[in-house]
Every structure is written in structure tokens, then in C-alpha cells.
Chains A and B, each alone.
Chain A
């Protein structure tokens, strides 16, 4: 592991800007609310991906040799769109158009030209598409990497396990799934609703090179992304907190999707601004 202190502090600063951008999006979305819980659980994951891991070409956004990130748990546009702005794929101003009439930044968009490679949201489906892209990349001799970001509640979907089985069978070392392990789904905790058991053991048993890390620790995430196998697909299980960094939303299922009052907005702004 040989990450510079500068890189870590830059990614931390990026994460903070993204969180502030997310607050603006929450405001723009108005009384219908936004997916706050699952957006804030993967801020650091998204910052590390767009700030360090993904090979992208903002001037040539559809270059075949770009890395692909398919966001299967698409209930995290609050983290994704600010990250796209950081990566130079959209403007910082555009994220404020979130969910307004005519905006391309809707709940579950599809817009590869700005880095939205997949219209997820109906859960459990992106993994198979990513496997198709990984097979295609390998056949074409490309050296890029395909990433699929999934929620942990999403792992209840059966077709995911069809995908995992085949990624291992096809020995897709150019393929990585990231699990945002926030332990909450819409109706409650993943343990109460449909327990997932020992996820690491499951991914290992399915033939994945599996790494666990603290999903809010930039350095740990950088380490996890650099630990890739040469002969099999990879899984990163990132332990996270839903609604992370907003005290009243942390670990609270009701903040899966919700609007903020003006007071709550001010409090969230204060907490994010004053956080270390």
C-alpha cells in the first residue's frame, strides 16, 4: 500500500464537497425527498472510485478503454452525481437541476455520455450486464475493469447469485463487485428482513477474491481496490452506515427516502461543514 497522504487528504476534501453537493440536490428535489440513507452510505466509495480508481476520459467519455461502473443500487444518485461533477463529466451547477422537469439527472437515468453507464434501480440486474461487458472487454483485448456497485439488501435478489456463479466460472479477473454493506433495507435491518449470513464466506465460496474494509475509511478503500486477483473476480465488502455523517439519519431506516425540513437541512450542513 503506497498511497500518499496528499491523495488521502484530497479524497477526503472531495468527499466533503460531494456531501455538500448532495445537500443541494436534496434541496432541489423538494418535498418529494431523496434517497438520503443509501446516498450517504457510499460517499467515500464513490469518491475513491471517481477520484482515484476509475480510468475515465472526460474528453472522450465513451472511449472503449474506459473503466465501467454500473450502479446497481441506483438509490445513491446523491453520491453519484456530485462524483460525476468532481470527475468533470457534468458541471457542478447541473447537479442542482436534480429531479426538476426536463433534467437528465432523474432518479434512475441512463446517460453513458456523462458516465451514467446503467439505469439501475430495479435491483439485482446490473451484475449480469457487467459480466457481459467484462466478457466483451476480455475478448476485445482491452485492459479496462468493470465495477458493479450493489447494496447489501439487494443481495436478496436471486439472479445476483446466478451472476456471481458465472463471473467465477468465466474467471473474470477484470470484474469487481462492491457491496455497500450498510445493513439496512427499506423496511428495517437486513438481519430482521432477510438475513445475509456470513457474506465474506458466501463470496469466497462462490469463487471471488473477497476483501472486507471500512467503507468510510478512504485509505482502507484504496487498499481494498488495489487488492485484485489475477485469475478470478473480486468482491469488496465495504462496511458502511446508512445516512452516514448526518446524525439524525444515521442507521435510521426511515431516512431511506425522505425530504429534509429547513432545520434539518441547516443541521446537516453544519455537521458536514464542521466534521473533521
Chain B
């Protein structure tokens, strides 16, 4: 589909999930015959009804059985098909993890695992439905590409990218309806390049998912305080674009990573692992869930406040770092 101002705006209203499952996948399936979509009893919630009614013979609902779903996805992929399998990020990345390891990662199968409601989208449901360590699990498995789209346009283009390659992949969809727009209709998703959204000279703010938008706002706030920030959308957490990262490391005094994920094992860890090999790298601060489930439930933003990943909190944290100097 040609991406226009109108489509970008309407996707943003629908959110990443509907954009991906009701927007991109049926279009892709029209072109790509040998493709399946699997769900574990979340067809309604994932906006898969359109796909299911257009392509019933390529849609499989396994019921509430996430392990079986990922196993079946593996079997289909071993026979040469491209398979999208989806359920909540917390279930697909944890309950099914051994199937992901033994089959998809080990055998490099053409399966795209799409985790929905990642981070704390299911805010009021509580910890059981949060996915705050999914990136850590997936990142430790060889061969997995991990994409965490920051807006609906990127999520839409990531779906096309996923269908265009045979590599195993985990796509972490966050965002309820009314997802902030980061990119306009001219944006072209480059899976291998970090996307620089704003150039600054003091701190480099590396974010993923919905926190990219918060980081952009934080940069505005910091500008008023005289701190100049680069903001980078690290949509692809694995493999990392180390070329761009290296450049950011050599041109800033501080690196801050911000993510809707535990500070252990996610974007922050990935960046730190790269940074550890550099001779003269700046300090890094990790902003995210602070390795604790002792968080009061409430709205998504209320939880973000406690994690420190809202624009205000990110700005405060970075300002404090510069005050110390």
C-alpha cells in the first residue's frame, strides 16, 4: 500500500496491533501465498478477524496453548512456509521459550514471533500480563532478530520486512490505540540502521518502542536547560547497528538508554555490551524497570512514572547527571 499522510494518521489511531495484523498482514498474504498466521486464542484481541476471514486456510488458532502454537509454527516453517505466530509478549517469550530455543533459534526457522501488549501495556492487569524481560530472553538466543517498533508506520513496514526475509524474528508490539506518530509518510524503514531523530552534542538518548516519543519530549525539556541531546530510535535491538552506535559514543559525553523493559537484558544491556569493548566510551545510565516487580499497578503512564521512563523523569535523570559534573 502506498503510505500517505492519511494512512499514517489512521494507523496511529488504530495502534500498532491493528496496523500490523489488520493492516499489513492481509496485504502481505495477498502477495505471498506460502504464509501462515497462528494465534493462541487471541484472534479478536489481535485484530486478526480480517485475516482469518480472508485466508481461513492460512490461519490457525491453537487455543490457549502457547507452547503447542510455537511448536506447530516450527513444523510449518520446517516445511518451507513463512509463519507469523502471535500472542501476548509475556506468553510468547516465556511460556513458549523452549520451543523458540530448540526449534526457531537452533534451526534458524522462518518464524516471526509477534508479541503483543509488550512492556506494561496491560498496565492494570498487573505483573502477570506485563512483558518486561521478553527482549532479554529473546536476545540471548542465537539467530533471533529483535525489532521493537516505535510507531505504527514503523510497525507496518517491519511486517513487510519480516515477510521479505527467512530469518527468525521477534517483533515486540507495544501500544494501544492512539499511538504517537514518530515518522511521516516519507519514512523508509531500514532494519540495519538506527534512526537518528534529533542531533545534539551533550547526551545521546537511545530509546526503543513507545519510549522513543518520551525521549524526544525529554530532549525538548533538556534543551531549555541548556543540555543538547541526540535522540536515536534503536528499533532493532539485535543485531545492533554498532557503526552508528560507535559514532554516538565518540561524540557525546553521556549515553542514556530508555526502554519499557527491565534494565537487565534489554536495550541498555545490549548497548553496554558493545560499549564495554571500546577504549574511551562515555558513561551510560540505564533507564527502565528497575529490576523490581514492586510497582503499584495503575495506568501505563503511572507505571512509567515509577520506572522513570516518562519524558519528565528521563529529563530529570539526565539533568541530574550533568549537575554532578
Contacts and interface: CB of A to CB of B under 8 A. Distances in A.
Contacts of A131: 68, 71-72, 75
Contacts of B69: 128
Given A110-B107, A119-B106, A166-B63, A159 B68 contact: yes
B78 A133 contact: yes
Interface in B303-317: none
A114 B60 CA distance: 31
Most chain B beta-carbon contacts within 10 A, residue among A122, A132, A162: A132
A136 interface: yes
A119 B99 contact: no
A64 B81 CA distance: 13
Contacts of B279: none
A159 B71 contact: yes
Contacts of A132: 71-79
A169 B99 CA distance: 21
Nearest to B83: A132
Contacts of A136: 75-76, 79-81
Given A110-B106, A122-B102, A125-B99, A135 B76 contact: yes
Contact of A162 (B68, B76, B79, B81): B68
Contacts of A165: 63, 65
Nearest to B58: A139
Contacts of A134: 75
A133 B75 CA distance: 5
Contacts of A159: 65, 67-68, 71
A125 B75 contact: no
B231 interface: no
A7 B63 CA distance: 44
Contacts, number: 80
Contact of A128 (B67, B80, B107): B67
Contacts of B68: 128, 131, 159, 162-163, 166
Interface in B76-90: 76-81
B75 to A, nearest CB: 2
Interface residues of A, number: 24
Nearest to B65: A162
Contacts of B62: 162, 166
A70 to B, nearest CB: 9
A122 B98 CA distance: 9
B294 interface: no
B103 interface: yes
Nearest to A146: B75
A135 B102 contact: no
Interface string B39-80: 000000000000000000100101101011111111111111
A127 interface: yes
Contacts of B67: 125, 128, 159, 162
Nearest to A122: B102
30 contacts: A119-B102, A119-B107, A122-B102, A125-B103, A127-B71, A128-B67, A128-B69, A128-B72, A128-B74, A131-B72, A132-B72, A132-B78, A133-B76, A133-B78, A133-B79, A135-B60, A135-B72, A135-B75, A136-B80, A139-B57, A159-B65, A159-B67, A159-B68, A159-B71, A162-B67, A162-B68, A163-B68, A163-B71, A166-B62, A166-B72
